Amino acid sequence: MNQSILSASNFINGKFVSSAQTHSVFQKFSGERIAEISVASELQIEHALDRAYQTFPIFKRFSSEKRADILQQLYDLLLKQKEAFAQLIAAEAGKPISYARSEVNRALDNLQTGVRTTLTYAGKQIPMDYLNGKGKTAYTIRQALGVVLGITPFNFPLNLALHKLIPAIAVGAPIILKPAPQAPLTLLAFAKLLQQTDLPAGAVQVLYTTNENTQKMVEDKRVKILSFTGSDRIGWFLKSISGKKKVLLEMGGNAAAVVDKTADLRRTAKKLAYGSFLNAGQICISTQRIFVIDTVFEKFKSVFLEETAKIKSGDMFDPEVVNSSMISRQDIFRIHDWVNEAVKQGARILTGGTILNKHANIYAPTVLTDTRKGMKVYDNEAFAPVVVLERVASFKEGINKVNESRYGLQASVFSNNFSNILTAQQDLEVGGVIVNDVPGFRIDSMPYGGIKDSGMGREGGSYALDDFTEPKLIVLGS
């Protein structure tokens, strides 16, 4: 891991500042402590909020060209250090190195999308040439709402932060980013790139702090938008204390796939095995439930278990590893308890169900069947390398099984039956329907977000900019 990009300090008002309190960050496979970072104090938090609030009138008047230039500067700077960032992501988040490199590449694409979107984003003309509006012209302009607080998760410590930072820069809204305690180093390292751009000092600030101080920022009236990615329990709580600010929540789920008899079973099984166990299942749209039409269930099960057996587990720096460390010791024991509890309730383990390496926090790729509502592995977000495989009598039953979840982020259907695809499009209660690919499919410019307990609002491209702005109506007449 390249130590030169590490930062142990918080980035406040364009400068790196330290504090008396510190927080340890560990390499997830070896358990080695790799950094000791500052925990921003209450006084430093107040300074960051004040500077963001004072910067807003200046930053919102930056031209779209100037804001796009800043995003291009970040792209150029990140491109030069892409491997160093991939190594850091792998170390602190336990992410397989091949997938960490993919995250950095996605971050670069995300920045390029941001450049294009910044230059083309606009309001729209409003039809008004009737009744009292005859002879008048009307249109809207989009204006930033104000200071944004972005709270980011451990599993994509760079790119999910950029899904908050990019739209903020694009519209001229100052943003304070708070990374997750398990993996804060990547975002603090990115602050070194921020310091080299033409951003005004208070426009983007990155700080790690306590839950108590984070809660105070959520409640602060100077913050106009809360953009949170994390667990639904924390997200809904933060919304409840956020006051009148706009709240955007991306909170994961237990993503499902429905497989019908017209699907290419080998291709489907290969995709779903990878989509279930990649990054130890620690992805908001990791496949967790698979419903297969009864007539092909046994054949699919056999092929799926073959593909699962090919999933390599181990050190995240092995380029062939797909399933590496979970984020903490607590989490491998949590999911092991969930699996054992499900077995006691009648579920069967088809493969896995064991802790492979408790010191490196690695859990075996696990497939369960005979699961049902009321079991944690079925109802809750596992965020682990565990998937349930169940038979259904019909495609419609499969759709109903998907919908009985309290979550609704993304789901997929594997089918070459046009009628079934249309049914899925119409009836699935999710934010995104993916056809013939895993629920975890994502391109960073697409509208991404969920319904029900999966959250509210959308990330990606101009859709995120809509959530960071409000329309102002302009009516022109003689």
* pLDDT higher than threshold 70 for residue 2: no
Domain assignment of residue 96, yes or no: yes
pLDDT at 34: 94
pLDDT of residue 103: 98
Nearest to 7 by CA among 35, 43, 45, 44: 35
> Based on the domain organization, do 361 and 465 belong to the same domain?
no
Whether 16 has a pLDDT exceeding 90, the answer reads yes
pLDDT digits (tens, 9 = 90+) for 108-165: 999 999 999 999 999 999 999 899 999 999 999 999 999 999 999 999 999 999 999 9
Indicate if 167 and 35 belong to the same structural domain: yes
| Other residues' Cβ atoms within 10 Å of the Cβ of residue 443 | 12
CA distances from 283 to 82, 338, 469 (A): 21, 18, 28
Report if residue 171 sits inside a domain: yes
The reply to whether 408 falls in a domain is: yes
Tell me the pLDDT band of 6, cut-offs 50, 70 and 90. Answer: confident
Q: What is the pLDDT of residue 8?
A: 86
CB 170 within 8 A of CB 197: no
The C-alpha atoms of residue 147 and residue 221 are separated, in whole angstroms, by: 10
**184-203 burial: b if 16+ Cβ within 10 Å, else e:** bbbbbbbbbbbbebebbebb
Residues 138 and 161 in one domain: yes
Q: Is residue 210 located within the same domain as residue 327?
A: no
pLDDT at residue 1, as a whole number: 60
CATH number of the domain that 423 lies in?
Answer: 3.40.309.10
Confidence (pLDDT) at 114 = 98
- Residue 448 within a domain: no
- pLDDT > 70? residue 399: yes
**pLDDT for 3 beyond 90:** no
| Tens-place pLDDT, residues 220-270 | 999 999 999 999 999 999 999 999 999 999 998 999 999 999 999 999 999
Q: Look up the CATH number of the domain holding residue 149.
A: 3.40.605.10
Indicate if 222 and 277 belong to the same structural domain. no
Catalytic residue IDs: 250, 284
Asked if residue 460 belongs to a domain, the reply is: yes
Residues 213 and 305 in one domain: no
* 260 and 400 part of one domain: yes
The reply to whether 214 falls in a domain is yes
The pLDDT score that the predictor gives to residue 146 is: 98
173 & 42 share domain? yes
Q: How far apart are CA 254 and CA 408, in angstroms?
A: 8
Residue 368: inside a domain: yes
Which pLDDT value is given to residue 266? 98
Name the percent of the chain lying above pLDDT 90: 97
Query: Quick one: pLDDT band at residue 7, thresholds 50, 70, 90?
Result: confident
- pLDDT band with cut points at 50, 70 and 90 for residue 349: very high
- Are 42 and 152 part of one and the same domain? yes
Q: Which domain holds residue 148?
A: 3-251+454-476
**Domains: count for the chain:** 2
- Report the distance separating Cα 179 and Cα 398, nearest Å: 37
Per 3-state DSSP, what percentage of the chain is helix, strand, and coil (rounded to 5)? 40, 20, 35
Nearest to 255 by CA among 296, 283, 227: 283
DSSP per position, 53-90: HHHHHHHTTS-HHHHHHHHHHHHHHHHHTHHHHHHHHH
Question: 444 by DSSP, 3-state: which?
Answer: coil
pLDDT of residue 4: 72
Same domain, 398 and 308: yes
Considering the domain architecture, whether residues 10 and 133 belong to the same structural domain is answered as yes
Q: Are residues 280 and 231 part of one domain? A: no
